[in-house]
Amino acid sequence: MEKMHDTFTDLGRGTPVWFTLSARLLPLGLLAQFLSAGIALFRDGGMWGLHGAVGGALSLPVFALLGGALFLPRLRGFGWWAGLTALLYLAQIALAAGAGPLLALHPLNGALLLTASLTLLAKVERRRAQPLALDT
């Protein structure tokens, strides 16, 4: 028998709706972050408040994904990507709070965070697409 990918364990128990929604909402929220920052830079500086509010709200899907990967055995296969996503999110908050030359890394870290969130989403959707027959 060939070894099953670790994100495919307990397929019969499904993927929790809150986990799937968190994986879907995170990249959308990050896209909103890029758009609000762009608008704030090139149009109206008042958009920075929205940028900060959305950034804070993104903690919900980030920590929901991490919590699911840590505490639900069938989701442990997502642990590495959920952990990386949470680490990049915390780095993003730290970079936003800082000033000076390190603030220049904020957009780069945002791009890395978006990449990690899209990879995590692809893995969640891949799990959801697996036939339940693999669970035997």
pTM of the model: 0.89
Amino acid 4: pLDDT: 62
Question: Token digits for 112?
Answer: 């890395």
Q: Which residues of the chain are under the pLDDT cut of 70?
A: 1-5, 44, 132-136
Task: Give the helix/strand (H/E) hosting 95.
Answer: helix 79-97
How far apart are the C-alpha atoms of 112 and 116, rounded to whole Å? 6
Amino acid 13: pLDDT: 84
